[in-house]
Chain A
Amino acid sequence: MEIEDKMDIVKTEQLTKIYGEGDNAIAAVDGINLNIKSGEFLAVMGPSGCGKSTLLHLIGSLDRPSSGKVFLDGKDISTLDDKQVTEFRRQNVGFIFQFFNLIPVLTALENASLPLTLDGVKPADAKTRAIEWLSRVGLKDRMDHRPDELSGGQQQRVAIARALVHDPALILADEPTGNLDSRSSDELATLLRQIVDDYDRTVLMVTHDPRIAAVADRIVFLKDGSIVDETYLSGSTSERAKTLKKKAGAL
């Protein structure tokens, strides 16, 4: 099937977020139009302060735009009130953050089942599905451990399981490898790629690390709140990485 026939999971129209007032006003995100297709792995890169995290937050409904629209899975989320958008997010989006990912007083299993528990799914069902995903990310034997008993990489893998347990339409990852050493970073990137390939998910990842971004299908480059470049990737990992480094360096 051609990529063009698949529907857009994410579509933004003139998405803008402005901070400050009057002379001090800054557009962190400036009129961005972005489409992400179902099953696509998109990476957003750019120097610090370019607005990539803000963009991700806007798409994930964690923040409200100053103007413009966001459509998630066809629904205009800017019309929803707080309660509705919370529910929508709960059912349709999965999050992986750089830090503060897990609730420290819950076990890996409990953390992974959170989206389901919050949605009112029966505890037994939630548990089953969470175990399934934890096994897929290779943490079956660490299910009952608390975050402080897991390494950084293991914690992020729990976060991935959690981001998938409720079958969301979209997975958002904000600098997921920012706190990890290079080996764990590679492992994580591979895992994310696998998720997209084997389970047909859509992933939007923000990162500044070209090696990690290299696993994506498409890269979008941001600078000062606007998209300045984009590229599709192919070839072996090292080739992709080289392409990226060149592109990133040009910015």
Chain B
Amino acid sequence: MNVQWKLAARYLWGRKLRTILTTLAVVFGVTIIFGMNAILPTFLQAFTSTMQSGAGQVDLNIQTASNAPFPESVVDQVKATEGVAVVDGSLQRAVILPDSMTPTNNKLTSAGNIIVAGVNPATVQQLRQYLVADGNFIQEGETGVAVISQTFAESLQKKLGDSLTLPSAAGTMEFRITGLLTTFPGPNPEVVYIPLTDAQTLFNMPGQVNLVEGTIKTDAVLEDVVANLRTSLGDGININVQESGTELFAAIEVGKSAFYIFGILALVMGAFVIYNTFRTVVVERRHDIGMLRALGASRGTVRNLFLIETLIQGIGGSVLGILCGYLLAVAFTLMISTFGQQLLHIDVGAPVVELSNLLISMFIGVGFTVASGLLPAMAASRVAPLEALRPAPALAQKRIMSRRAIGGLILLGLGLAGLLTRQLNLASLGLVLFIIGLILCSPILVQPLGHVFSGLLNQFFKREGRLAEGNLTRNPGRAAITASAVMIGLMIALAMSGMITSVFGGFFKYMDKSLGADYLFMPSSLLLSGGNVAVSPELAKKVAEVPGVGTLSTLRFTTTKTVVGDTQLLGIDPITFPEISGLEFSRGDEAEAYRKLAEGRAIIVNGIFASQRKVAIGDVITLESPRGPLDYTVAGVGLDYLNAKLATGYISQANLSQDFNVNNDVLIMANLAEGADSIATRDNLQQMVRDYPALTFFESEVFRKSQTDLLDQAMVMFYFILAALVIPGLIAMINTLAINVIERTREIGVLRAVGATRQQVGRMVLAESLLLSAFGILLGIVTGLLMGAVLVAAMNTTGFKLPYYFPWTGILVTIIIGLVFGILAAIIPARQASRMEIIQALHYE
């Protein structure tokens, strides 16, 4: 009906400030939901394109455990296996370009190290699409040609048709550049594609390949094909199914849910605001309602009038929220792109506007708004025409001990019980019940808490304190709802800051332990190091000889399969490793564990491994090696910063060499010798490492700083979200205070008439505001502490041993934020109250 829309629009326009406040609450919630979920797909897209450009369509990835070559006949064997579709065999090795060819690089990348891939052009292009920007890919039968990426060509200052010299087993070989590829952003080093036969000559491995990739037929079952391959190829060959990166995918999915939850919480607070506002609006407009009913408007018409008002605010708020969300996403992308670039070498593009995200955000935003206005709208429709025409309504005092409160008490009890069981699942459920119960009970808490706080309040507000207290307790429902909104915001802020402290604290502890060395030689892309990037033990020997270098220890790396699936295997020197670095042991004695490693086939597993498979000291686990399955005894469970995300085992380098044929180092750690000159030593090391560009040289101080800088950047993101969650609480407070003032206009007029000064009236409002925020602070701290404890416990189940730090600073900050809000929220309403003209106020109906 036209008139309802007209009325709704006019009413909203007539109360601009309040309309803006209530709409803002909705805007916040939708901004978070839409904005955050616009960023994640971007991240995901960038990541996926990286993975795809690397992996193409490949299902199977077959190598030996040590990347050693095997005869080409293996390719035919794989092709003959049932279920296999396309197969390609290639020879790929890391090659270090001599200094003369090394393009300029900075400290965190090392482009002087490249991969030379000898490929069979016919089959490899069936597996992957190589996007040629200029020229052609290798043609069948061609020799002496190379295909490189555009950026690599630029950095070498070469063009199509130029020659490229590569170091070979016999000296050098020259290739003509016949194709330039579009560069995909990726964490991998540059790849130079040459024909397979040429590669076999280059590396002096005639008739051999070291990587077989393939796809399976559409009707084949992957597990079966893998089983068939194992049968025909025997042990000693690693058959990998393409699934790396799933871990990051999973993390991103969790991120998505987390953001939805945050957004919904913000909307819940918005819903509180709207509910409060509309309840008051209904009371204020009772004359108009009665008039409309007297004139013959039906109940439905009146109800719909209010619903339309909420609908308009919902739509307006959601649209604005989507716009702000988009802007927020753009801002974030700019901020994170440095983060993404440095750590993951991923180029994060512009935020993606997914239709589903848009629709869901609108739906949730509008839905929440209208739902929160529903109860007041129904109440409005039930106002009898006559009742509305009376000059002053008798405000019915809600019975304090209502069913709602009793239900709330029950939930509180259940919640506490759940929390006390100390079992994670029950405790989480208990937390949720506790919070809901608290919100339901809060109206009964208003009066007693009001007394408690007013004692404190009266110290500062000697004359106005009593009035303020009375004002709040007169409408406990409204006070409680406002305090609940504040509570939610503060609770999350406290819990998150507590968790962040724990996470930081935990990580830094590991980092200190793991990176205790003064100098580090690390592969450039830490997280996605694929294992083909290693240096011969010569470098470690050379480093040890540099004057000024004291203790030295290295890490070696391979992958294996164990009972938990793909496992990283790190080779350490049980004697030097604990001197320089070390693991944080959660089970087993440290000295004992290292000793066992030196003595025989013993292994220390990390937290992720242990969380996937409970192990005790002395258990035997089987590792798959080129020599077949081997038994290793568990000597301990230890955690290490660098390998915190994947299942990992640590064995001695002697065993790694003997059983897995791995002799190259992936990480070198060295300490400054006592009394040595750090600057001279550093210079010497930098000089020497130029010939080994596979690893980058770091002073660990510098590295640690770069890591903390990156983490700080990530933290800014969190603080943003925290702020966004806490602010709706502020809006809720301003809203309530404004309503209170307007409702008590006549009363304020009377106060002024009997002699209260403007300042006193203002102070009364301020006192009320501080009472409200005190209420919210108390509730927020209680729930925030509980939530924080539950969160840390949850993190601990993932295998991270996170320390729990009682958030003293967090509590202090919460109190300060709450009080600041109390003051900020009071500013406008207090001014309104103090500025009222006495006569007008007295005549206000």
Contacts and interface: CB of A to CB of B under 8 A. Distances in A.
Do A and B share a complex?
A: yes
Contacts of A114: 3, 292, 295
A91 B296 contact: yes
Contacts of B7: 103, 105-106
Interface stretch (A81-89, A191-199, A221-229): A81-89
A62 interface: yes
A97 interface: yes
B10 A86 contact: no
Contacts of A99: 391, 845
A174 to B, nearest CB: 8
A243 interface: no
Q: Which of A86, A91, A120 has the most C-beta atoms of chain B within 10 angstroms of its own C-beta? A: A86
A117 B3 contact: yes
Contacts of A101: 291
A114 B391 CA distance: 23
Nearest to A93: B296
Contacts of A63: 384, 386
Given A106-B7, A106-B10, A57 B386 contact: yes
Contact of A87 (B3, B296, B386, B845): B296
Contacts of A60: 294
B294 A95 contact: yes
B298 interface: yes
B808 to A, nearest CB: 53
A97 B497 CA distance: 60
B299 interface: yes
Nearest to A174: B389
Contacts of B389: 62, 97, 100
B297 A105 contact: no
Contacts of B682: none
Chain A interface residue number, banded: 20 to 34
A95 B385 CA distance: 12
A115 B14 contact: no
A90 interface: yes
Contacts of A110: 6
A106 B7 CA distance: 7
Contact of B288 (A104, A118, A120, A123): A104
A105 B284 CA distance: 14
Given A105-B7, A105-B10, A114-B3, A62 B298 contact: no
B296 A119 contact: yes
Contacts of A123: 2
A82 B299 contact: yes
Interface string B740-776: 0000000000000000000000000000000000000
B453 interface: no
Interface in B300-340: 301
User: In this complex, which of B7, B298, B389 has the most chain A Cβ atoms within 10 angstroms of its Cβ?
Assistant: B389
Contacts of B2: 117, 123
B556 interface: no
Determine which residue in A95, A102, A120 has the highest number of CB atoms from chain B within 10 A of its CB, and name it: A95
A90 B296 CA distance: 4
B287 interface: yes
A95 B295 contact: yes
B10 A118 contact: no
Interface in B809-845: 845
B386 A103 contact: no
B293 interface: yes
A60 B299 CA distance: 17
Contact of A89 (B3, B14, B294): B294
Nearest to B13: A105
Given A57-B386, A103-B292, A114-B3, A87 B287 contact: no
A96 to B, nearest CB: 11
A62 B386 contact: yes
Contacts of B175: none
B445 to A, nearest CB: 35
A170 B318 CA distance: 47
Contacts of B13: 105
Contacts of A62: 294, 384-386, 389
B11 A89 contact: no
Contacts of A97: 291, 294, 389
A103 B288 contact: yes
A86 B297 contact: yes
Contacts of A103: 7, 288, 291-292
B298 A86 contact: yes
Contacts of A83: 298-299
B295 A118 contact: yes
B14 A118 contact: no
A118 B7 CA distance: 12
Given A63-B386, A100-B291, A118-B301, A89 B6 contact: no
Given A57-B386, A86-B293, A117-B3, A100 B298 contact: no
Contact of B296 (A86, A100, A105): A86
Contact of B3 (A90, A104, A118): A118
Nearest to A119: B296
Interface string A72-83: 000000000011
Contacts of A86: 293, 296-299
Contacts of B6: 106, 110
Nearest to B11: A105
A118 B305 CA distance: 12
B290 to A, nearest CB: 8
A82 B301 CA distance: 13
A197 B3 CA distance: 33
Contacts of A95: 294-295
A230 B296 CA distance: 31
B295 A90 contact: yes
A204 to B, nearest CB: 15
Nearest to B9: A105
Contact of A118 (B297, B299, B386): B297
Contacts of A102: 291
Residue in B294, B301, B386, B391 whose Cβ sees the most chain A Cβ within 10 Å? B294
A100 B299 contact: no
Q: Which of B13, B293, B295 has the most CB of A within 10 A?
A: B295
Contacts of A87: 296, 298
Given A63-B386, A83-B299, 7 more contacts: A89-B295, A97-B291, A100-B288, A104-B14, A110-B6, A114-B292, A117-B2
6 contacts: A63-B384, A87-B296, A89-B296, A104-B14, A118-B292, A118-B301
